[in-house]
C-alpha cells in the first residue's frame, strides 16, 4: 500500500471537474423554481388524465410517470432552501405568461378519443423541452459548487429519457392513419409555438443562446 502520509493531488488525475459555472446562486434558484412549477403541472396533468384515457396500457404508464415527475418536483422543492430561498413557494412559478398558456393548452384535451393529443403534448413537446433545459443546465453549471443540482438533474434526466421513450412508443403504436399523423403534428405545432414564445421550461435562455 502507498504511504498514507505522502501528499496527493486533491483532484485525482481522472477528475476533470471545473470550478467556473454559468449560473450564480440566484439564477440557479430561479431556474429550479421554474423546473419545480413545470414538473408539478406535468405530474398533475398526468394524474388527471389517467381516468380519461381508455387504453389500459397508457392508463398504467401515465400513473407511473405521474410519480416520476412528482418526485422531480420534490427534488427541486428540497433544493430551493439550499439556494437561499427559504420560502420555496415564492419561486415556484412559471417562467412567464406564455409558459402558463402552454400548460393550459397542454391540459386542454380531455375526451376519451384524444389520447394522441394528450401524449403528443407531454412526450413530443413538454418532456423534450425538459431534457433540453436540464441538459443545458447540467453542462453549464459549476461542477463543484453546484454538485447537488447536477445530481438531481441527472436523476431527473434519467427518468425523462426513459419516459420519453415510453411515450414516443405509445404514440407510434396509437397512430394508425395519415389523418392521425396530421392530428399529432398539428397539436405538436400548436404547443411548440407556445413553448417557443415561452422560451423553454425556464424561459428565454433555457438552453442558452439568449
Partner 1 sequence: MRKFFPVEELARDERFTQITMRQSEADPRTVLLAEPTGKRPKTNRLTPDRPDASEAARSLMHGIFVGEIQALEGAGRTCFDFETGSGDAPDTVPFALKLDMARQAWDEARHVEISVKLSDWMGSEIGQFAENTVLFEVACSNDPVLRLAGVNRALEGLAIDVFTTMKEFGDMAGDPYLEFCEDWMLADEVTHVKMGSDWLRRVTENDPERRKNALEFQSVVDKIFSFGGTRSDSNESPIGLARRFRELAGFTNTEVQEIADVSLKALEERKAFSAASLNDGDTEHSETGTGTEQLADA
The Cα 127–Cα 161 span in angstroms is 8
Q: Is 191 in the site for partner 1 (CB under 8 A)?
A: no
**Residue 8 falls in which region: left (phi positive, over 0), alpha (psi -120 to 50) or beta:** beta
Minimum separation from the CB atom of position 145 to partner 1 (A) = 27
Q: Is 187 in the site for partner 1 (CB under 8 A)?
A: no
Q: Is 109 in the site for partner 1 (CB under 8 A)?
A: yes
Minimum separation from the CB atom of position 51 to partner 1 (A) = 4
Minimum separation from the CB atom of position 22 to partner 1 (A) = 29
Q: Is 62 in the site for partner 1 (CB under 8 A)?
A: yes
Please give the C-alpha separations between residue 136 and each of 22, 44, 81, 150, in angstroms, as whole numbers. 10, 25, 22, 11
Give the nearer residue to partner 1 in terms of CB position, either 40 or 202: 40
Q: Is 100 in the site for partner 1 (CB under 8 A)?
A: no
Return the residue of 24, 27, 59, 197 that touches partner 1, per CB under 8 A: 59
Question: Footprint of partner 1 on residues 37-56 (CB under 8 A)?
Answer: 40, 43-56
Minimum separation from the CB atom of position 149 to partner 1 (A) = 20
The Cα 4–Cα 117 span in angstroms is 62
The long-range contacts involving 17-21, CB below 8 angstroms and separated by at least 24 positions, are 17/143, 17/144, 18/142, 18/143, 18/144, 19/142, 19/143, 19/144, 19/145, 20/142, 21/140, 21/141, 21/142, 21/143, 21/145, 21/146
Q: Is 107 in the site for partner 1 (CB under 8 A)?
A: yes
Question: How many chain residues interact with partner 1 (CB under 8 A)?
Answer: 35
Q: Nine-digit cell at 103?
A: 400548460
Return the residue of 24, 108, 168, 192 that touches partner 1, per CB under 8 A: 108
Q: How many C-alpha atoms does 179 have within 13 Å on its Cβ side?
A: 0
| Site track 160-179 with partner 1 (rule: CB under 8 A), x = hit | --------------------
Q: Which of 179, 191, 180, 197 is nearest to 107 (CA)?
A: 191
Minimum separation from the CB atom of position 118 to partner 1 (A) = 9
Is the CB of residue 170 less than 8 Å from the CB of residue 61?
yes
Q: Is 69 in the site for partner 1 (CB under 8 A)?
A: yes
- Residues at the contact surface with partner 1, assessed by CB under 8 A: 40, 43-56, 59-64, 66-71, 73-74, 77, 107-110, 112
Amino acid at each position: 500500500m502507498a504511504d498514507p502520509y505522502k501528499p496527493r493531488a486533491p483532484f485525482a488525475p481522472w477528475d476533470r471537474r471545473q470550478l467556473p459555472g454559468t449560473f450564480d446562486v440566484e439564477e440557479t434558484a430561479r431556474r429550479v423554481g421554474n423546473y419545480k412549477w413545470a414538473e408539478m403541472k406535468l405530474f398533475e396533468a398526468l394524474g388527471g388524465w389517467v381516468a380519461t384515457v381508455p387504453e389500459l396500457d397508457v392508463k398504467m404508464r401515465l400513473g407511473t410517470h405521474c410519480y416520476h415527475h412528482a418526485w422531480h418536483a420534490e427534488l427541486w422543492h428540497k433544493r430551493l432552501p439550499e439556494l437561499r430561498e427559504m420560502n420555496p413557494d415564492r419561486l415556484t412559478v412559471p417562467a412567464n405568461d406564455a409558459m402558463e398558456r402552454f400548460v393550459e393548452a397542454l391540459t386542454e384535451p380531455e375526451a376519451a378519443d384524444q389520447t394522441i393529443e394528450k401524449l403528443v403534448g407531454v412526450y413530443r413537446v413538454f418532456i423534450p423541452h425538459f431534457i433540453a433545459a436540464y441538459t443545458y443546465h447540467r453542462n453549464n453549471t459549476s461542477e463543484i459548487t453546484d454538485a447537488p443540482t447536477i445530481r438531481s438533474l441527472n436523476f431527473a434526466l434519467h427518468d425523462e429519457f426513459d419516459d420519453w421513450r415510453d411515450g414516443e412508443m405509445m404514440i407510434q403504436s396509437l397512430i394508425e392513419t395519415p389523418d392521425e399523423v396530421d392530428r399529432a403534428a398539428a397539436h405538436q405545432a400548436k404547443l411548440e409555438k407556445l413553448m417557443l414564445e415561452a422560451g423553454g421550461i425556464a424561459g428565454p435562455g433555457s438552453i442558452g443562446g439568449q
